[in-house]
Structure 1
Amino acid sequence: MDEEGITIRLTRDQAFVLSDWLYQVMFQSDDLEGIVHDRAVWSPIYAISGTLDKRLSEIFMPDYGPRLEAAKERLRVNLYGGADESTAAGQDTTDAPQAHQIERGTAGNHSESDQGQ
């Protein structure tokens, strides 16, 4: 079996939004099993999530929520040519950064050496 690695290219906005979505599915909702029934698929999901965590300095920034919303809006505009109301009504994404950072053990850890790894 060929174990050659595969490279996937994402824009920074795509990576940021995907990272947040993966975090929501994997850690906040505990619904990964409900969404992905075959546990073999979990391996690449965890690999992608871990890679994004290492590469995205945005997930450690105090203005995570506004940055995430701006990235989502840019992606919507690029994809649909305008705003899209796909965020669930009443869903507050401003709490996500703190929970995201706490879950990942990074709350308050903003050292420059951690960024860009």
Structure 2
Amino acid sequence: MKDDEAITIKLTRDQAFVLSDWLYEVMFRSDALQEIVSDRAVWSPVYAISGTLDKSLSELFQPDYAERLEAARARLRAEMYGDDEEG
């Protein structure tokens, strides 16, 4: 195994959309990630993931972004927890 061998992570579109929004929130709108990440080397994969999501998701640029995001979150919650909105 080579150290520079790429790894592929597969996400559903809803997972990618929700993750992209969360990364944006913790990276650019708060200091939350800086408080969590003590090793600066972690920023390299975080930026790679964030950049890949930004390039792949047309939803990020749609005028109904908030509605699409909430719908994706609701679908993921239902998928993980069923109809229990508390989950």
Q: State if a TM-score over 0.5 links the two structures.
A: yes
Aligned twin of 1:89: none
In the TM superposition, what whole-angstrom CA distance separates every residue of 1:37-67 from its partner, at most 9, and x where no partner exists? 1111111001000000000000000000000
What displacement does 1:31 show? 2.5
Name structure 1 gaps, 5 residues minimum: 87-117
Larger helix fraction of residues? 2
Is 1:50 paired with 2:76? no
Say what the alpha-carbon RMSD is for the aligned residues: 1.3
What displacement does 1:84 show? 2.7
In the TM superposition, what whole-angstrom CA distance separates every residue of 1:1-20 from its partner, at most 9, and x where no partner exists? 52110000000000000000
Aligned twin of 2:74: 73
Amino acid at match of 2:71: A
CA contact (8 A) 1:19 1:52 kept: yes
Aligned twin of 2:27: 26
* SS of aligned partner of 2:54: helix
Amino acid at match of 1:72: R
* SS of aligned partner of 1:37: coil
Name structure 2 gaps, 5 residues minimum: none
Q: Give the aligned length.
A: 86
TM-score in terms of structure 1 length: 0.69
Aligned twin of 1:63: 64
Higher relative contact order (CA 8 A, sep 6+): 2
TM-score in terms of structure 2 length: 0.92
Amino acid at match of 2:83: G
What displacement does 1:30 show? 2.7
Aligned twin of 1:112: none
Measure, in 2, the Cα distance between the counterparts of 1:29 and 1:85.
25
Aligned twin of 1:13: 14
Measure, in 2, the Cα distance between the counterparts of 1:23 and 1:83.
27
